[in-house]
Every structure is written in C-alpha cells, then in structure tokens.
C-alpha cells in the first residue's frame, strides 16, 4: 500500500516522506537516523512569543543527517558545566526533532518513545549526547527527541501573548509524531511520552491536556511531577528582567531586545532561584486552555489520561546536583538554622517535619535534611499521591547508584546514562565518572524498553504494599514502602497554609520570619555563584 508516508532508499541513506516533505537520513551501525526534521515553523519575527505554526512544506528531499538548531538559551555556569553537557547549535529553525528507528518500514508498527529533555525549562536540547536514541532503536523501539522553546521565549508570561509557548511546541511535536511516525516504522497507537525533570513536568502537563487526549499510550516521569507554577512567580521573573532591561514587561518590548542581551539578563536574574530554595523562575502556568487547571489534581481525580500507564520515579540524592556544584552543600551545612528555616518556608511546614527527619536520619547533616525534605515535598510525595490514585497502572522506581565523582551520590539526572544505556560515553561520565556498571545500564534501559513495548517494566505495579524498584549497587531489587516513614511525617497538622499570592503590582510575597530566612539564604547562595 502506498501513501504520503511511503519510504524509499538510495545509496546515501533512507528517505521517508513526512507530512511536509521528504527527508533523507543516515544509516549508523545498522540504525536509520533522521535528525533536525522541522515539526513547526521557526519562532521568529511575528511568530516569536506566539504558539507554533506548521512548517512550510518543501520540494525534493531535505537532508536530515545533522542535529538542527537548539533553542536560544544561556550557557550553564562553570560550576554546572563541568557536570552537564549542553551543546549549542545556532540557527532560527529550532523547532525540530530527531528519529532513530531499526528500519523505516511502515508495516513494522513498533512502539515509540518520545523524549522531552530537562533543564529547568531554560537549558538543554535534544542534541545532548547522553540522549542517543540508537540504543532504543537497537532494542526495537522507535525513539524521537525534540527541541522546544525555553526560558523567556517559551515560558514568559505577558499581557500581550499566550502563555506556555514551549509546552505548545511539545504538543505540536506530539501531534507530528502521531501523524508521521508510521512512516518511520512506529505505531502511533503506542506512543510513550518520556521526560526527565522539566521534561517530566511537561509530560505530566500534556497528560492532563485535553488537546493531547488519545495521543499518549504510556508515560514516564523521571524526577518531575505534574505541576503548575504560580503565575505571580513567573511574572516576577519577567518583571525583574524588564526592570534590568528598562523596558515594559510585554512580549512586544522583549521581542525588540537583542537576543544575547536577553539571555544574559535571564541568567543573571535566574541566579536567585534554585529547586531547593525556590525564587522567581519560569514554569508552566494554568492558562484555561492547554492547561485548564492543576494537572496533578486532574490526573489524581481521574479526569485526565484514563487508562494511560505510568512509570515514575526519582534518584536517591536528587538535591546533590543542586548543592554540590560551587561548594553549596558545605555552605548550606554551615548556615545550619538559617538553612532549616529556609527549608521549612519552602515546604510550608512547622518544626515537626525537620525534627522527624532528624529522628529518622540521626547521622545526616543539615544539607541532607534540607535536600531530602525539599525533594520529598516537591517531587516524591506528589508522585506517591498520583500512584495511590491509580493502583495497578503505575510502576515506581528509585535510582540509588552513586556517582564516582566526589559528593554527588545518586544525584539528579545521574540515571539518564543508564536509561539510554549511554553510560560509557564522555558526556555521561561528566556526571557519573568512569565505571558505570554495564549490567545496571542494561537492566534499567531494558526496563524502559519493556515498559514502552508492553507497559510492564519487570516488577509489580503499585498497590497497597508500595513496591519500588531500586536500581543501585548489587543489581535491581524491589523494596516495599522504602520512604513511607518520611512521607508519614507530612500531614495537615505539620504544614502551614500557602501564603496568598502577590498582586500584579507587588513584587514580593508577604514578609515573615521564614521568608526572610529564605531570602538571606538565596542571597548568600547567589553570591557564591558569581
């Protein structure tokens, strides 16, 4: 049967016809690879700060052998760049994607994994070497990775432009995959949406999006729960940038600013934010359209993604990637009571919660108590709540293998080289060090392959016994309720209400003793990052 998706091949590589034109990929070690395929028009000129538009169709065959341009982003600071690879590829046509497939045969109907990269919605791209999709294709899964708009251009909140442009880019890519992936050998009815950190948060928002219903069969949320940001928190980020630039806080005014200056200003303002300490930042917001409400609550209530199977989890020491670079771990330990006060404000708890963590972990330092409290509050407890609401359809994991580099432990993003079975490449070793056990890489990667193919990663689904698959030293095993004691410390009796949001004209939340402590800690941390 012939159609728009009909595949041909010539002497230089496989050719596939997509909805907008034919593309020629490359064969690499027996895998057909297509890079830099546009799924939307370049977001420049009148399309900057606007929802994505379809790309212009092209005649002939477009070469798809190299990664396309990455979205505009500031570089990582020196402290983080030593651990995280983040290539920058110049060009305006940044809304592009890549496909790895065993063979672009429309009759193959293979499972599909669509990867959303992390990076706090301000950094990262599909060109990061760790995200090499060839290992999934090698094992019978068509892998797709995408770029999407970041930072002020993807998640700025303005009175004269729609919000969540970066998330709308991701939806456009998901729709492209659903329509086009059959030509590459994929099954549009078996798409697993997979992301880490900001990519997982994005995947959670798309799971709950009415416009994405029916497009996602399964989802993997790595170190990121479904969540939305307070609109005032994002507005503060935009206003602070506007103040530094001496322009109105409008999309029209920002579009007229030199892009390099814009990215420099974004990085400077962002120094005051961190996952542990909070602060103004970019994030997904409720918009009444693509994000009609809190995605976590919609998924818990069963109003969104009915029947979608979930694989979710975290690393044992998430916080260490946020605190080890630049010596912040020791700094938080030295600040002692101020750090604990900051954690209480961040988590909106009374003294009972940190006291409970001290009792459960009597040998832990202040930074570990702070880090684990904040990780549980922001990440693990929401994922637990989601799993509890969907028994029998969720599988949970914890990555516990420690990095070979000093003090990092099983930190945030360390599992990525294991999921992609790319632990031996230099970009993975920047974070893991040398000696990542190949058998653990194979076990974790194999679990993701099985989940994408069947919905069963290889251990029992979530139920009242709280099974969690531990990927650590000595090989994977299943623990039952390994963090239940910590989670039991959190209750309405041990938390305080969230403060009322700031008004549009007020750049500061209500000042209390705890928020003052957070500000002192943020300023101290920011000074060390200079």
Catalytic residues: 197, 318, 412
114 neighbors 174 (Cβ within 8 angstroms): yes
CA angle centred on 79, ends 75 and 80, rounded to 5°: 55
∠ CA 375-381-387, nearest 5°, is: 135
How many C-beta neighbours within 10 Å does residue 79 have? 14
Side-chain half-sphere CA neighbours of 156 within 13 A: 27
Q: Which contiguous run of DSSP H or E holds residue 208? A: helix 198-208
- How far apart are alpha carbons 452 and 155 in whole angstroms? 29
Here the tokens at position 411 are 């930190």
The torsion angles phi and psi of 426, rounded to 5 degrees, stand at -55, -40
Nearest CA-CA partner of 32 in 177, 107, 136: 136
Q: Can you read off the two tokens belonging to residue 492?
A: 């309405």
- Torsion angle, CA of 70/75/79/85, rounded to 10 degrees? 20
| 318/43 Cα distance (integer angstroms) | 34
From the list 143, 151, 192, the residue with the least C-alpha distance to 169 is 151
Decide: 451 and 191 in contact? Cβ < 8 Å: no
Which residues are CB-neighbours of 439 under 8 A, at least 6 positions away? 475
Tokens representing residue 493 in the block:
């009796």
Is the Cβ–Cβ distance between 324 and 461 less than 8 Å?
Answer: no
Distance, CA of 196 to CA of 200 (rounded, Å): 5
Residue 271: count of CB within 10 angstroms of its CB: 16
Give the list of residues 6+ apart from residue 342 with CB closer than 8 angstroms, or none.
Answer: 277, 370, 514, 517, 518, 520, 521, 522
Distances (CA, A) of 32 to 3, 61, 100, 104: 20, 16, 6, 7
Q: Which of 227, 179, 203 is nearest to 19 (CA)?
A: 179
């Amino acid at each position: 049967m012939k159609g728009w998706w009909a595949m041909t091949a010539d002497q230089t590589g496989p050719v596939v016809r997509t909805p907008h034109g034919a593309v020629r990929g490359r064969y690499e070690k027996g895998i057909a690879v297509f890079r830099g395929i546009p799924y939307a028009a370049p977001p420049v000129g009148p399309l900057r700060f606007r929802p994505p538009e379809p790309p212009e169709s092209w005649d002939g065959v477009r070469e798809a052998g190299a990664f396309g341009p990455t979205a505009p982003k500031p570089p990582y600071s020196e402290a983080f760049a030593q651990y995280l690879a983040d290539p920058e590829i110049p060009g305006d046509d940044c809304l592009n994607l890549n496909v790895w497939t065993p063979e672009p045969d429309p009759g193959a109907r293979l499972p599909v994994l669509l990867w959303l990269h992390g990076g706090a919605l301000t950094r990262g791209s599909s060109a990061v070497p760790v995200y090499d999709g060839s290992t999934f294709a090698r094992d019978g899964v068509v892998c797709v990775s995408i770029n999407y708009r970041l930072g002020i251009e993807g998640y700025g909140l303005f009175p004269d432009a729609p919000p969540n442009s970066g998330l709308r880019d991701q939806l456009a890519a998901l729709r492209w995959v659903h329509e086009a992936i059959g030509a590459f050998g994929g099954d549009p009815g078996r798409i697993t949406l997979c992301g880490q950190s900001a990519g997982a948060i994005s995947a959670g928002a798309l799971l709950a999006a009415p416009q994405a219903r029916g497009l996602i069969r399964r989802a993997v949320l790595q170190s990121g729960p479904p969540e939305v940001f307070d609109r005032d928190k994002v507005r503060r980020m935009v206003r602070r940038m506007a103040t530094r630039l001496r322009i109105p806080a409008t999309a029209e005014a920002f579009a007229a600013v030199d892009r390099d200056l814009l990215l420099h200003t974004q990085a400077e303002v962002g120094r005051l934010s961190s996952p542990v300490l909070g602060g103004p930042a970019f994030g997904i917001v409720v918009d009444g359209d693509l994000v009609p409400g809190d995605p976590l609550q919609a998924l818990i209530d069963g109003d969104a993604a009915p029947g979608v199977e979930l694989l979710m989890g975290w690393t044992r020491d998430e916080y260490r990637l946020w605190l080890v670079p630049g010596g912040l771990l020791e700094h938080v330990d030295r600040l002692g009571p101020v750090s604990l006060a900051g954690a209480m404000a961040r988590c909106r708890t009374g003294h009972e919660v940190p006291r409970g963590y001290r009792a459960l972990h009597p040998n832990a330092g202040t930074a570990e108590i702070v880090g684990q409290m904040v990780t549980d509050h922001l990440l693990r407890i929401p994922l637990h709540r989601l799993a509890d609401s969907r028994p029998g359809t969720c599988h949970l994991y914890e990555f516990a293998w420690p990095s070979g580099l000093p003090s990092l432990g099983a930190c945030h993003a360390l599992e990525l080289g294991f999921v992609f079975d790319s632990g031996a490449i230099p970009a993975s070793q920047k974070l893991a060090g040398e000696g990542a056990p190949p058998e653990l890489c194979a076990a974790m990667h194999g679990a993701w392959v099985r989940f994408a193919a069947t919905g069963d990663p290889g251990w029992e689904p979530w139920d009242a016994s709280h099974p969690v698959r531990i990927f650590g030293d000595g090989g994977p095993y299943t623990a039952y309720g390994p963090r239940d004691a910590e989670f039991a410390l959190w209750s309405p009796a041990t938390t305080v209400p969230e403060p009322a949001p700031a008004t549009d004209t007020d750049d500061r939340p209500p000042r209390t003793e705890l928020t003052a402590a957070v500000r002192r800690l943020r300023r101290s941390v920011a000074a060390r990052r200079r």
